[in-house]
Structure 1
Amino acid sequence: MRAGLILLCLAYVLSQFFRAFLAVLSGPLALDVGATPDDLATASGLMFATFALMQLPVGWALDRVGPRRTAAVLLLLGGGGGAALFALASSPLHINLAMALIGAGCSPVLMASYYIFARQFSAARFATLAALMLGVGSFGNLVASYPMAWAAETIGWRAALWGLAAVSVAAALGILVLVRDPAAVGGDTRGSLLDLLKMPAIWAILPLMFVAYAPAAALRGLWAGPYLRDVFGLDTGQVGQATLVMGVAMIAGTFAYGPLDRLFNSRKWVIFTGNVICMAAIFALMLWPDRSLGLSIALLAVIGLAGSTFPVLIAHGRAFFPAHLAGRGVTLLNLFGIGGVGVAQFASGPLHAAAPSALAGYTAIFALFGFALLAGLVTYLWSRDSMA
């Protein structure tokens, strides 16, 4: 199982890469296929939306088929096939289709790992293991920053995507060979998604789950690139360096959050405090979007660091799920988390396009993320803490 988890972690590195690489390719894609930032926002939104919608069948498959075949088949067809289609793209439509395929291909990877953690380790250790997997996988964020920018300038983005298609296929085949499915749950295993939705404990968690990941993922995954290029005049390599800083902050935040719930004996208030700090940084960007390059990069890093509460939020909700619904439970939470990013990207593109200037468009995007997070935090105050 150790080798299998390593392969799933490698696959999650790919998943994180695909969420974030558009930010540094906005310039080359505009030149080669005529893709505007708004086109790329749609493509990014399609990736996250497809990823989110796939959580329902993925949750069922994890509980009924197992993580091995679920992750391997989808990563092979969606991840490998989507990257290959992206490499062949000649229009924004092709990029949209490729990103949708990639979203489907990456959709089971993290949840397959979380399913194994939920079934084979204690609930008290889940947050730490989940954060460890997320943190290591988030190195894909780093590869999608300056290294991807360097690759695009050196060998071309098409060659880089062909290489990623090959790595995706190899990872999928490795998962099929090395991952072992957990033993079946004994006793009564009946249940459905409706049983999860009948649990009052998760209803105060789901709104924050929907908005908490969106600022860091949407900014790092796309908008940081056009924002830094349009407002401060950065080129592709410089955008890669700036987004590398945010990527490192996101990894540091993910690792830091892992043990904090046990250190403070609370998941709720660790999550709440982190997201308040993230919200404050977003509103600072909204108020001073062009004050200085250093300030903007620092605030993006704070958003990445403080906004990395995703694994602790998953752990908070997972504590209320029975073992036989672990797969559908964690994928339901993931649906809200990833779906929120997709909705944010679909909303941010038209919002940016409708603004009277580029700077006003980015200010509007920061306002969207900040006020959405505020609404989620207000609802989350009613949640019940759990350290089970």
Structure 2
Amino acid sequence: MRAGLVFLVAAYVLSQFYRAFLAVLAPVLDAEIGATPADLALSSGIWFLVFALMQMPVGAALDRIGPRRTVAVLLAAGGAGGALVFALAEGPWAIHLAMALIGVGCSPVLMASYYIFARVYPPAVFGTLAGATIGAGSLGNILGAAPLAALVEAVGWRPTLVGLAVVTLAVALALAVFVPDPERAETPEAGTGSVLDLLRIPGLWAILLLMAVAYAPAAAIRGLWAGPYIADVFAADATIIGRVTLVMALAMVAGNFAYGPLDRLLGTRKWVVFWGNALAAACLAALALRPDPGLWPAAALLAGLGLFGSSFPAIMAHARAFFPPHLVGRGVTLVNMFGIGGAGILQFASGQVHHAAADGAATAGAPFAALFLFFLVPLLAGLGLYLFSRDA
């Protein structure tokens, strides 16, 4: 069990890396193959939407055949294959295809871990284990910042992607060997054993709606827009971009570890999630009101967004309290689908928002002010609806 979880965390490191590395590669991809920030926003959005669409089949596979084969096969075929397609890209369309394949490969990784936690460990520690997994896996966020920038500068982006394909395949093979399949839960006669049973649970809906908008701001800004923002507004080079995105990535790691045990320490899941996301909204509001406060004040606000916006494990733990044992796989993937799908939709639209705001903009910061506001408004709406959720 321990060896399998170690390799699942390693796979999640790769998943976090792949969803965040475009911000650092943006300048070189624009220069060499003509992939503009709008193109990369589309590519990133494709990753999120494909990832989200895979959640329902992944959930069924986890419940029916277990995590071992589900995660090993998809990571090998989609993750390693997509990285290789990326390495051979000659235009934006190839980046779109590569990110779609990588989205398929990454789609079961975190949910396989959560499935094992929910089926093997006591429910009271689910939030702590979920947060620790994301926190440790967020090393991928860190590797996708300054270390990636240094590696690309040293060897080039194509050899870097080939190396990533090899590493991804090796991790997939290790998962096939070491990940255990927990004993299957029996489906009760009264239930149909489908996701429709979950959608009939009233207490779940407000949680799903918040998840749809809470993950997107930190993920999208760290994964794509932080690089162009720092470059355009503050005339920063790749080294400075790497440092700022590294600061934000470290804050996201800290946030995931911090959120994990807070429900047990404070005796509530709902209010931990609510006030954490309210502070994330405050950081977004500050950036929207003044997008050019200076390089390091801006970096501090991005770090605050990363810290307080890393509520994914806490929201997942809140939702997990409503899942019956035979629907754990479908349950965690349903919540994940809302989180990743919401991020994908907002990521798609963010490119158009930035493009429209950039036309005739008076300052370099104006398009990004519009972008921060674009992520802020849905988050505030989600928080308002989440007030109607039931604590668990």
**Common fold: TM-score over 0.5:** yes
SS at match of 1:204: helix
Cα deviation, residue 190, structure 1? 4.0
Q: Measure the CA separation in 1 of the matches of 2:177 and 2:329.
A: 21
Cα deviation, residue 332, structure 1? 0.1
Return the letter of the residue paired with 1:54.
Answer: M
Tell me whether 1:382 sits opposite 2:388 in the alignment. Answer: yes
Cα deviation, residue 191, structure 1? 1.2
Q: Measure the CA separation in 2 of the matches of 1:325 and 1:249.
A: 33
Tell me whether 1:25 sits opposite 2:31 in the alignment. Answer: no
Q: Measure the CA separation in 1 of the matches of 2:20 and 2:206.
A: 29
Q: How does 1:252-271 map to 2 (within 5 A)?
A: 252-271=254-273
Unaligned runs of 5+ in 1: none
1:366 is aligned, of 362, 366, 372, to 372
* Aligned position for 1:343: 345
Q: How does 1:270-349 map to 2 (within 5 A)?
A: 270-349=272-351
* Aligned position for 1:169: 169
Q: Measure the CA separation in 2 of the matches of 1:164 and 1:45.
A: 21
Q: Measure the CA separation in 2 of the matches of 1:172 and 1:31.
A: 33
Contact 1:46 1:100 in 2 (8 A): yes
Tell me whether 1:56 sits opposite 2:62 in the alignment. Answer: no
Contact 2:276 2:308 in 1 (8 A): yes
* Aligned position for 2:72: 72
Q: Measure the CA separation in 2 of the matches of 1:28 and 1:85.
A: 17
SS at match of 1:205: helix
Please give the per-residue CA displacement for 1:329-372, whole angstroms capped at 9, x wherever unaligned: 00000000111110111010011111123532211110011111
SS at match of 1:183: coil
State TM-score, norm by structure 2.
Answer: 0.97
Q: Measure the CA separation in 2 of the matches of 1:48 and 1:151.
A: 25
Unaligned runs of 5+ in 2: none
Contact 1:25 1:236 in 2 (8 A): no
Q: Measure the CA separation in 2 of the matches of 1:183 and 1:311.
A: 24
* Aligned position for 1:39: 39
Contact 2:64 2:184 in 1 (8 A): no
SS at match of 2:38: helix
Q: Measure the CA separation in 1 of the matches of 2:314 and 2:140.
A: 20
Contact 2:187 2:193 in 1 (8 A): no
Contact 2:17 2:140 in 1 (8 A): yes
Tell me whether 1:142 sits opposite 2:142 in the alignment. Answer: yes
Q: Measure the CA separation in 1 of the matches of 2:187 and 2:26.
A: 52
* Aligned position for 1:181: 181
SS at match of 2:365: helix
Contact 1:63 1:328 in 2 (8 A): yes
Return the letter of the residue paired with 1:376.
Answer: G
Cα deviation, residue 186, structure 1? 3.4
Cα deviation, residue 90, structure 1? 0.5
Cα deviation, residue 107, structure 1? 0.3
* Aligned position for 1:129: 129
SS at match of 2:390: coil
* Aligned position for 1:14: 14
Q: Measure the CA separation in 1 of the matches of 2:327 and 2:86.
A: 36
Structure 1 stretches of at least 4 aligned residues deviating more than 4 Å after TM superposition = none
Q: Measure the CA separation in 1 of the matches of 2:35 and 2:186.
A: 52
State TM-score, norm by structure 1.
Answer: 0.98
SS at match of 2:285: helix
Return the letter of the residue paired with 2:91.
Answer: S
Identity of counterpart residues, as a percentage?
60
Q: Measure the CA separation in 2 of the matches of 1:263 and 1:193.
A: 32
Q: Measure the CA separation in 2 of the matches of 1:66 and 1:29.
A: 38
Contact 2:187 2:326 in 1 (8 A): no
SS at match of 1:182: coil
2:207 is aligned, of 205, 223, 235, to 205
Cα deviation, residue 143, structure 1? 0.1
Cα deviation, residue 135, structure 1? 0.5
Cα deviation, residue 187, structure 1? 5.5
Q: Which deviates the most, 55-64 or 186-195?
A: 186-195
Contact 1:111 1:327 in 2 (8 A): yes
